[in-house]
Structure 1
Amino acid sequence: RIFCEAYRVGMVGRKYQWLIMGTYSERWWSKETENCSSVELQNALDGCILTDLLPLATSGDVTVSGFTPDEYRAEYDSRRGQEYSRFHGYTYDGIWAVALAIQHVAHKIRSVRKNETVVDFKYRDPVWARVFLEALMNTSFEGVTGPVRFHNNERNASIMLKQFQVGEEVKVGEFNGVTQLLDMSKGQSI
C-alpha cells in the first residue's frame, strides 16, 4: 500500500530512496491489488534497496562440517525434495553451534561438578545454565552461512543487499556482521 500511494503522489524516481526489509515472498510485487496494478508497484519500487538474510556464505571457505557452502547447498538440494526453507543454512549452523556447545560443556562440567556428565543435565539448574551460556558465548566457527559467533546473546550474521531493478530483485552487495564491512563488489552495480 505504501508504494502504491508513493506512486500516486509522485514520490518515486531518483529523488527518493526507499530502504526496506526484503523478506517478502517470491515476486511479491507482481500480485495485483484493487487499488494498484503490478506495473504501478514495479515503477514505485524501481531503485528501492532491500535488506535480506544472506542464505549461504559466498566466501567458498571450508566450514566446520568439512563442506564449502556450495557443497552443502548441493547436498541440501539433493535431499530436500519439494520442500525448501530459506533458513536451512541457519538451521544447519545452529545445530553445529549446539553440538559444539555440548562438546564444550562435556569437558567443562567435570571441573565444576566432579561426579556429573552431560547425561546428568538438569533444566533450571543455575550451574548448568551458566556452563551452557558460557559455552555458547565461546562458540566460534565457520559455518555455511558465514562466521558463527555470538555477542550479547545475538549472532552477528551477514546481510545481503538487493536493489529493485527493472522488475527484479538483484543482489548488489553484502554486509558482514562480524567485520562490519560493506562489500559492494559482491553483486551487480547499483
Structure 2
Amino acid sequence: MYSQCFMFSIMIILINANQENKPIVLHIGGLFNTDNPFINNGQYDLQAAQMAISEINQRYYDLFNGHYILNLLSNNSKCDPIYAVDAFFHAIFRCPQLLFLVGTSCSNETKAVIQVADYYNLILFSHSTSSISQANETYSTLVRLSVSDENYNDARVAFIKYNNWSNVAILHQDSIEYSLMMAKLAKRLNESNINVILTQSASMTNLTSALQTLREKKARIVFINFDTSSRAIFFCEVYRTFNKPLRERYVWILTGNDYHLWNLSINNCTQKEIINSARGHIIIDSSYEIKPSSINPNTTAQQLQKHLHLNDHLDRQTLHAYDAIWVIALLIQASIKQQIPIEKFTYSSIDMRDQWLTLLEQIHFHGVSGPVSFRNHQRHAETLISQFQIDLKQEQQIQTIAEYSHILGLNTKCLTCRTLIWPGSIPVDTERSEVRRLVMNIVEIGLITTRCILGFALAMYFLTFNIINQ
C-alpha cells in the first residue's frame, strides 16, 4: 500500500510538473473584413495573420523560452464601425483576456475601435493602408504598420525645392480625413516659403469644375490625393478636360505606388487615354524593398503570395497584417527579457501598457513588407520618389528618381535612380505673362524711318500715276 501511495505521489508530481511546463496561451484579438464585397483582401489579411501565428508557435521555445504560445481570436468587422465595435465588445466580455489587438482594414472602423480600445488599455496594431485622421497623440494605444501621410511632407518639400518650384496647388478627395491630411501639407509648404495657390476638395461628380479652377488659377504643380479606386477616373477627366499641349505642362504628384490596382476599364476613356494622361506623374511612397524576412528566413512575400493562392499582386495591407503579428511576438520577447509579467496583464494595467509602448521603440526587424521600426508609435521608413514613365516600346514603368531620408535629405544619385523624363518641356510652377520693353539703337531707328519714307513716297507716286492716267 505504501508503494502504491508512493507511486501515486510520483504521478501527481509528474502531472503537476507537466502542467507547469505547459506554455501559457496568450490571446490576440483580430478584426478583419472577411465578407465585404468592396474589401477583397480582408480574407487574405486574416490568412496572413494566421500564417504568422502558426510560424511563431512553431518557434515558441526560441522566441519565448517555451513559456508562451499565441492564439488569434478573429472576428468579422465588415468594414463598418458599428459591427467593429460590437465585435470588439464581444471579444472583451465573451472571450478570454486579450493581450493586443490587430486590425482593421478600414479607417472609419479603426477610429471607432481605438476609442474604446484605449479605455481598456489595449494596443491596436493597425495594418490598414488607408488614412486615419486622428493623430497618435489623441489615441496613445494606436500603432500603425503603414507610414502616415505626414511622414512624406519633408520629402515633398525637398522635391519641390530641388526643381526650383515655388508655387503649388493641392487637389484632394472630398472627405474630412483627406482635408486634414492636406491641411498639414499646406501648412508645411507655407512654412517652407512655398506658395499654395489653391487647396480644393473634389468629388467624382465635380471633378471637371475642379480641374477648370486649377487652370484659371494658373497652377501647374499639383499634389493629388484620391483613393485608389478614383485615380483612373481622375486621369480620365484630365484627358477629357485638357488638350495634349496643356496636359504636358502639369506635374501631378501622387502618394502611394498603386498603379497596378487602378481600374482602367471605365466607360469614358480607353486604357491608352488614361495611361497617356498619367504619363510623367510623380509618386511619393515608402522605400519598402521586399526581401526575405530576417525573423523567418523561410518566408518571403512571394511565398506568402503562394500560400494565399494569389496570382495577382500581393496587397501591402496583407503584408502589414503578417508583420503586425511578428511585431507582437518580438514585443513579447522583449517583455520576457525585461521580466515583465505578461500573463498578469488586465484591462486596467496602464503601467504595463506604457512599458510595451516604450519597448516598441526598440523593436526593429526586416519583415515581408520591408524594414520595420517605430518612432512615436508610427512606422518609420525612408521615402522613395518615383515617376510613371513610358518607354519607346510604349511600356509603362515606375522608375525611381530620388530617395529621401531625414538624415541625408534628397538623394538623386542613388544606385537605382533614373533621370526625370517630362512628356514635353521642363514644367514651370505657374503660368506667367511677361511684358518686355524693347529698345532699338539709332541705326535701327534710322533704317526703319528711311523705309517708311520710301514706302510712303512710292505709294504717293503710284496714286498720282493712277489719277493722271485714269
Q: Tell me whether the two structures share a fold, i.e. TM-score over 0.5.
A: yes
Report whether the alignment pairs 1:41 with 2:269. Answer: no
Structure-to-structure mapping, 1:1-190, within 5 angstroms: 1-7=233-239, 8-10=241-243, 11-13=246-248, 15-22=249-256, 24=258, 26=260, 28=262, 30-34=264-268, 36-54=269-287, 56-57=289-290, 63-67=293-297, 72-82=300-310, 84-110=314-340, 117-166=341-390, 168-173=396-401, 175=403, 182=411, 184-186=414-416, 189-190=419-420
AA of the residue aligned to 1:3: F
AA of the residue aligned to 1:152: N
User: Structure 1: where are the runs of 5+ without partners?
Assistant: 111-116
Contact 1:19 1:50 (C-alpha < 8 Å) held by counterparts:
yes
AA of the residue aligned to 2:235: F
Contact 1:156 1:178 (C-alpha < 8 Å) held by counterparts:
no
Structure 1 pair 28–64 and aligned structure 2 pair: CA distance change class (3 A)? closer
Percentage identity across paired residues of the two chains: 23
SS at 1:92 equivalent: helix
Contact 1:109 1:131 (C-alpha < 8 Å) held by counterparts:
no
Structure 1 pair 30–188 and aligned structure 2 pair: CA distance change class (3 A)? farther
Structure 1 pair 100–56 and aligned structure 2 pair: CA distance change class (3 A)? same
Q: CA deviation at 1:45?
A: 0.9
Q: CA deviation at 1:155?
A: 0.8
Contact 2:288 2:371 (C-alpha < 8 Å) held by counterparts:
no
Q: CA deviation at 1:48?
A: 0.7
**What is the TM-score normalised by the length of structure 2?**
0.33
SS at 1:149 equivalent: strand
Q: Distance in 2 between matches of 1:169 and 1:16?
A: 19
Between 1 and 2, higher relative CO (CA 8 Å, sep ≥ 6) is seen in 1
Structure 1 pair 47–86 and aligned structure 2 pair: CA distance change class (3 A)? same
Q: In the TM superposition, what whole-angstrom CA distance separates every residue of 1:22-48 from its partner, at most 9, and x where no partner exists?
A: 4546362632333x3433322221111
Structure 1 pair 147–82 and aligned structure 2 pair: CA distance change class (3 A)? closer
Higher-Rg member (1/2): 2
Contact 1:173 1:185 (C-alpha < 8 Å) held by counterparts:
no
SS at 1:26 equivalent: helix
Q: Distance in 2 between matches of 1:97 and 1:176?
A: 25
User: Structure 2: where are the runs of 5+ without partners?
Assistant: 1-232, 421-470
Structure 1 pair 175–32 and aligned structure 2 pair: CA distance change class (3 A)? same
Q: Distance in 1 between matches of 2:404 and 2:328?
A: 22
Contact 1:63 1:144 (C-alpha < 8 Å) held by counterparts:
yes
Q: Distance in 2 between matches of 1:124 and 1:23?
A: 41
AA of the residue aligned to 1:129: R
Structure 1 pair 25–44 and aligned structure 2 pair: CA distance change class (3 A)? closer
SS at 2:355 equivalent: helix
Q: Distance in 2 between matches of 1:107 and 1:27?
A: 43
Structure 1 pair 187–90 and aligned structure 2 pair: CA distance change class (3 A)? farther
Q: Which residue does the alignment assign to 1:113?
A: none
Q: Distance in 2 between matches of 1:144 and 1:180?
A: 25
Select the structure that is richer in helix.
2
SS at 2:365 equivalent: strand
Q: In the TM superposition, what whole-angstrom CA distance separates every residue of 1:36-75 from its partner, at most 9, and x where no partner exists?
A: 34333222211111234555446xxx7431528xx61343
Q: Distance in 1 between matches of 2:275 and 2:408?
A: 31
Q: CA deviation at 1:133?
A: 0.7
AA of the residue aligned to 2:267: T
* More off after superposition, 119-128 vs 15-24: 15-24
Q: Tell me the matched-pair count.
A: 177
Contact 1:136 1:150 (C-alpha < 8 Å) held by counterparts:
yes
Contact 1:49 1:164 (C-alpha < 8 Å) held by counterparts:
yes
Structure 1 pair 32–75 and aligned structure 2 pair: CA distance change class (3 A)? closer
Contact 2:301 2:369 (C-alpha < 8 Å) held by counterparts:
no
